[in-house]
Amino acid sequence: MMNLTKENIQFIDTYLEQSDVKHIDIRMEMVDHVASEIENRIDAGDTRDFYYVFKDYMLEHKSFLLENNNRFLRQTTKKLSNQLLKSFFSIKSITLLAVFTAIIYFGFNNYDSELMKNVLLISMIFLIIAPAICYFFALKKFNYNRFSGIERLGFFFSFLLQFINIVNITGANFIKNQNHLLITSIVMALVFTFILVFIRLSVLTFKDYKYRYNNLC
């Protein structure tokens, strides 16, 4: 059985990377598939140089491979969304939401609202920095290889930041009204719960990738 050389494999990998298959967890499978098919063709009697066999294969199958890349990304986003929603609507999270609401409501009733607002804002900033630090260490751990699931977390992270931004802008005047304290507390508690659920999902995703792709660490 003929095996392609390291240089041949690197050539396929670079070609796919330049064709916009950026994530290594998707690309490695495509590289293996293309390499296996080329080896099979050469074993079956194709005497041409690797480059010509590769070119023929790509002419026939490139569109399939790129479509596969897009489908994989959609699948990853769907998987993460389901995990996030499942985790957010779990009994644990609902309990956490109730506890946060009670603590924040108690805080607004017993302390200066400006002080409370600052404490909440600093806590939020601290909590949203945590996933960014996680991402930095994950990148380092994986030798700066890009993984689809880890990068897709960024999509949810952007959503989280936008949500916090909206709460911050619209809530500034709303918070001053004593009649709105309960609603304000619930919204704040929702943000905190969502951040914690997101952090948990990020850590689980990192651990999952580390377990599966240990060869790349």
Partner 1 sequence: MSNSKLYKGSLNTIILKLLNEHDKMYGYEITQKVKALTKGELKITEGALYPALHKLEAEGLLDVEVAKVDNRLRKYYKLTETGTKETVNKLEELAEYIKTMQALVNPKLV
Footprint of partner 1 (CB under 8 A): 3-6, 9, 28-29, 31-33, 35-37, 40, 61, 64-65, 67-68, 71-72, 75-76, 78-79, 212-216
Instruction: Report the residue number, 80 or 164, with the smaller CB distance to partner 1.
Output: 80
| Contacts for 180 with CB less than 8 Å, ≥ 6 apart | 174
We find the least distance from the C-beta atom of residue 21 to partner 1, in angstroms, to be 12
CB nearer to partner 1: pick between 153 and 188? 153
Min CB(156)–partner 1 separation in Å: 16
Cβ contacts of 176 within 8 Å, gap of 6 or more: 113
User: Least distance (Å) from partner 1 to the CB of residue 129?
Assistant: 30
Main-chain phi, psi angles of 56, to 5 degrees: -60, -45
The nearer residue to partner 1, 40 or 109, going by C-beta atoms, is 40
Smallest distance, Å, CB 212 to partner 1? 5
Contact criterion met (CB below 8 Å) for 87 and 202: no
Smaller CB separation from partner 1, 145 or 193: 145
Q: How many residues does the chain have?
A: 217
Burial of residue 166 (number of CB atoms within 10 Å: 0-12, 13-18, 19+): exposed
d(CA 96, CA 201): 16
